[in-house]
Every structure is written in C-alpha cells, then in structure tokens.
Amino acid sequence: MAEDNARRAAELELDLLKRHLDGLYLWDSRQRIVAINQFDGGRMPRFHLARGRCGKLAGFRADLPDDLIGALNTLIDQEPESLARLPEKRSEYLALLAADEPIAEIWEGPVYALPERLPDVTDVVDINAANQRLLQPKMADWLPDVAHRRPFVAAIEDGQAVAVCASVRISALSHEAGVETAPDYRRRGHAARVVTAWARQVRALGAEPVYSTSFENAASQRVAASLGMRLIGVDFHVR
C-alpha cells in the first residue's frame, strides 16, 4: 500500500511537471517549441529536459535537426528517473548541442509544487491599471507587465510595492510564479506572503501554481522552503 501511494504521488508530480513544461512554451503540431509563452517573447532554448521521480519530459526547438533530436532522445532514454541536481547524461547532451551550434546559455534549477493548503493572506494588494502607481519606484520594472500578468499581487510598505508575485507564464492548466522583492525589504516575509496570495488566486481560476527557479538563486529557494513547497522536478535547458 505504501509503495502504491508513493508511486501515485510521483505520478501526480509528473503530471504537474508536464503542465509546467507545456506552459513554458508555445508548441507546434509536432510538439516542438516555437516560442516562449509570454507577452514579450524571449529567446527559446534549443533543448529542455525536465526530470521527475517517475519520468522524464523533453522539449526541442522546432528548427532543431531531426538527427540531433534522435540522438538526444537516445540519451534521454538512458537518463535515470531522479531528482538529482544534474542530469547523468549532461556532458553528452552538451556535446551534441555544441556540435550543432555554440551553446549560448545553460539553465538548471528546481521545480516546486505548492502545498495543497495555503493560509489566507489579507495584507497584500492586487495590482491593476487603477493602482499600478504603487509599483513606483521600487517595482517600476514591472509596470509593462500589469496588463498581461494575472494574478498580480504586491506587498505594500511605506506606501509603495516592495514585493510582487505575478503569473509570468500562463496556460489553462498551470501558472508560473514570477517573484521579486526590493533589496532593502528582503528577509521580512514579503515574498512568502505574495506567493501565497498569488497561488490561492491561481487555484481559484482552476489552474495549478508552479514555482521554479535556478540553483544559483538561494533567496528564491529559501522562499520555497519557508512555504513548505515540494520538489517535483529539475529543469535543464540549453540555448
């Protein structure tokens, strides 16, 4: 029974990891990546591997040669199912991709699911066109996002937004969190509050909140730990 429950839990994690991957990009009829799923675009990775406890999911940029995709898939078949920080076949993936064109960027980081039960948070504000002035001056870089990223939640201190959490990738089944706290207001619990409020709103829409970050972002991982998030996968993507 315990083994069955553990397997079922891992399968649910893999389903959420699939929602995460599907929501990051726009896909063609062959399930190849054609664009970043956000209003202002962005540069697509050539290869994205998401690993979970009971499965592996991959995405390939649409213009990647078929023989290269075949070679990458052969390695993926040999890749263990695990939450290890780095893929076992990492060096082989990079060698194949580098032989096709120079590698511009490598991203590696954890993917988290939020707890099923989240406390109600009342001391935050929903940001919209009517009150977006609150983003000045600390969160002014987020002003272009107000019309496109919903839900959009902010913590207010000293009459201004000092931390925000908004949906930066949106699909019918999942929303990805984008979070920032002004440097001089960090370690006061603001990020945890806005993420919690944002996640509750995402679930009210019928989607699942997903929180992913890079291994280099220790502050973001502290937020995940403070909220009791569960590690469900590990991302590895190469541009």
Residue 81 pLDDT: 93
| Residue 118 placed within a domain | no
More confident: 4 or 7 = 7
pLDDT at 5 over 70: no
| Residue 178 placed within a domain | yes
139 lies in the same domain as 221: yes
55 lies in the same domain as 91: yes
More confident: 237 or 6 = 237
Q: How far, in Å, are 13, 76, 95, 114 from residue 99 at the CA level? A: 34, 18, 6, 39
Mean pLDDT over 199-228 rounds to: 97
pLDDT at 1 over 80: no
Number of domains in the chain: 2
| Residue 203 placed within a domain | yes
Q: Which of 85, 113, 141 is the last residue of a domain?
A: 113
178 lies in the same domain as 132: yes
Residue 156 pLDDT: 97
Say which residue the tokens 């040999």 belong to.
Answer: 78
pLDDT at 48 over 80: yes
Residue 9 pLDDT: 77
Q: Which of 46, 81, 113 is the last residue of a domain?
A: 113
| Residue 120 placed within a domain | no
79 lies in the same domain as 177: no
What residues make up the domain containing 204? Answer: 125-229
Q: Which of 113, 137, 169 is the last residue of a domain?
A: 113
pLDDT at 229 over 90: yes
pLDDT at 6 over 80: no
Report how far residue 33's alpha carbon sits from residue 42's, in angstroms, rounded to the nearest whole number. 12
151 lies in the same domain as 66: no
Q: Where are the alpha helices (DSSP H) in the chain?
A: 2-24, 66-78, 90-100, 190-204, 218-226
| pTM for the model | 0.95
189 lies in the same domain as 213: yes
| Residue 237 placed within a domain | no
Say which residue the tokens 């209003």 belong to.
Answer: 39
- In this prediction, residue 24 has a pLDDT band, given cuts at 50, 70 and 90, of very high
Report how far residue 232's alpha carbon sits from residue 209's, in angstroms, rounded to the nearest whole number. 13
Residue 98 pLDDT: 98
154 lies in the same domain as 93: no
Check residue 149 and report its DSSP letter: -
56-71 pLDDT tens trace: 999 999 999 999 999 9
- In this prediction, residue 26 has a pLDDT band, given cuts at 50, 70 and 90, of very high
- In this prediction, residue 137 has a pLDDT band, given cuts at 50, 70 and 90, of very high
Burial 29-63 (b: 16+ CB within 10 A, else e): eeeebeebbbeeeeebbbbbbbbbbbbbbbbbbee
103 lies in the same domain as 178: no
